[in-house]
Amino acid sequence: MRTADIRSRFLDFFAERGHTVVPSAPLPTPDPTLLFVNAGMVPFKPYLTGEATPPWPRATSVQKCVRTLDIEEVGRTTRHGSFFQMNGNFSFGDYFKEEAITHAWDLSTRPVADGGFGLDPARIWVTVHHSDAESRALWRRVAALPDERIVARGDEDNFWSMGVPGPCGPCSELYYDRGPALGRAGGPAVDEDRYMEFWNLVFMQYERGEGPGKTGYPILGELPRRNIDTGMGLERMATLLQGVDNLYETDETRPVLDRAAELAGVRYGADPADDVRLRVVADHVRTALMLLADGTAPGNEGRGYVLRRILRRAVRSMRQLGYGDPALADLLAVARDRMAPSYPEVAEAYERIADQASGEEDAFRATLKQGTTVLDTAVARVKADGGRQLSGAQAFLLHDTYGFPVDLTLEMAAEQGVEVDREGFTALMRAQRERARADARARRSGSTTDTSALRAVLDEHGPTDWRAWTTLTTES
């Protein structure tokens, strides 16, 4: 089943059961706690918290998601895309656990000829929160699941909250056993690549108080109106139904992977390191397409920096595959053709998208050209001296003079088995920023101190914004 068919089958199923079909929100979100929408429930938050009255008691959507925390996983696990689509059904004070579990089970296992996904019921495992006897009983009754395939888990995995006071509650996840070739037996607690999570049901039934974070906060009581929030990974369902190993090989990304392999003249499946690179390219090109279509532009901060990193990793991966010419416009066109049936906006904005991506690619190729030799020489010298670490001063020089972001230096040095003195680098960056600040202060106070030396530093190097890193590493 094609991804686009899984998508519409899901929406049809829930529309037939009284849910209003709500279109995906754009990826960049006004939600102040996030850079991008990272789950189907994000656009519905005001309805779930009670801040706004939901226009419908039940809704269903296929939401575009970008999870920056998952970027490092891409290509290495079988199941994490930096962009993915989350199919969801939502109840705002309407139905609760029994219907949510019944619907998820029914759609997952109903025969394909009958409008379902036709998964083998004998290979489905579920998790429940250890306190949630009600859900365990429902899984036994509704799905006739044996107790061994209902795994109890603790707060860390199976209790949901928004991280702030408000609604919270237990979750229940559905996993599919993809067989011994993909990992060890024993259920999702043992191996989550073999037992792949494909659907998460959140039962918002309590209200939580102030507390440190994910766990350890007080439960204040039952919510007056209980909600259901579910998320089924569209690409994960496609992986299962298309019988492929991983989500990069499904119909919306595999053609990009194949085109990248063709350009680079490598064969997918021939070399594990190249395979990871090909999967990274397939994933990142599609993510960039969707972000650019939704109006994010490459930049040095926040959203723009995430996009810039994604584009650069795609370019670098192509280079590592042995292809040094511009490739993005070519690859983006392949991704566009796969995504346009569900997202016509990517075709409409394609020319702008290709221009922006190619502009970024050209600039990055120039940066690489300038800095790569400097980096390689420095790394070679470290190695010749029997060392294992590139100095902070070298990383600073690469950043400051050659425009190498430190993450690039780290990554390229690591590929050659050399570490980077991050602390030394950070100290130099801080010193530079303090010089710039002192200069600005002196100017504001009208001081007659001679700041020409500081001025010269600022003029030459410009102030450096270090926030991009903090946002990237703390955002989920």
Which residues contribute to the site for Mg ion (CB under 5 A)? 197, 200
Per-residue binding letters, 11-50, with ligand ATP (x by CB under 6 A)? ----------------------------x-----------
Interface residue with ligand ATP among 14, 90, 139, 198 (CB under 6 A) is: 198
Of the candidate spans 191-199, 351-359, 449-457, 460-468, the one that interacts with ligand ATP by CB under 6 A turns out to be 191-199
Instruction: Please name the helix (run of DSSP H) or strand (run of DSSP E) that holds residue 152, with its range, or none.
Output: strand 150-153
Interface residue with ligand ATP among 80, 153, 313, 435 (CB under 6 A) is: 80
Q: What is the Cα–Cα distance from 423 to 429, expressed in whole angstroms?
A: 10
Of 187 and 233, which has the nearer Cβ to ligand ATP? 233
Of 19 and 399, which has the nearer Cβ to ligand ATP? 19
Least Å from the CB of residue 70 to ligand ATP = 4
Of 105 and 350, which has the nearer Cβ to Mg ion? 105
Instruction: Please name the helix (run of DSSP H) or strand (run of DSSP E) that holds residue 282, with its range, or none.
Output: helix 272-293
- What residues between 224 and 283 interact with ligand ATP by CB under 6 A? 231-233, 235-236
Interface residue with ligand ATP among 7, 9, 64, 67 (CB under 6 A) is: 67
Of 197 and 252, which has the nearer Cβ to ligand ATP? 197
Q: Is residue 197 part of the contact set for ligand ATP (CB under 6 A)?
A: yes
The item of ligand ATP, Mg ion, none sharing an interface with residue 67, based on CB under 5 to 8 Å by kind, is ligand ATP
Q: What is the Cα–Cα distance from 418 to 422, expressed in whole angstroms?
A: 12
Residue type, 323: Y
For 145, residues 6+ apart whose C-beta sits below 8 A from its C-beta are 124, 126, 139
Q: Is residue 194 part of the contact set for ligand ATP (CB under 6 A)?
A: no
Interface residue with ligand ATP among 14, 47, 195, 199 (CB under 6 A) is: 199
Main-chain phi, psi angles of 204, to 5 degrees: -85, 105
Angstrom distances, CA of residue 85 to CA of 66, 80, 233, 286, 388 = 9, 11, 6, 12, 42
Least Å from the CB of residue 87 to ligand ATP = 9
Least Å from the CB of residue 81 to ligand ATP = 4
Q: Is residue 176 part of the contact set for ligand ATP (CB under 6 A)?
A: no
Cα end-to-end span (Å), the chain? 31
Q: Is residue 70 part of the contact set for ligand ATP (CB under 6 A)?
A: yes
- Using alpha carbons, select from 273, 391, 278, 283 the residue that is nearest to residue 339: 283
The item of Mg ion, ligand ATP, none sharing an interface with residue 258, based on CB under 5 to 8 Å by kind, is none
DSSP codes of every residue in 420-449: E-HHHHHHHHHHHHHHHHHHHHHHHTT--S
Burial of 74 (0-12, 13-18, 19+ CB in 10 A): buried
Q: What is the Cα–Cα distance from 231 to 167, expressed in whole angstroms?
A: 17
Tokens 């492929």 belong to which residue?
A: 244
* Interacting residues toward ligand ATP by CB under 6 A: 39, 67, 70, 79-81, 84, 86, 192, 197-200, 231-233, 235-236
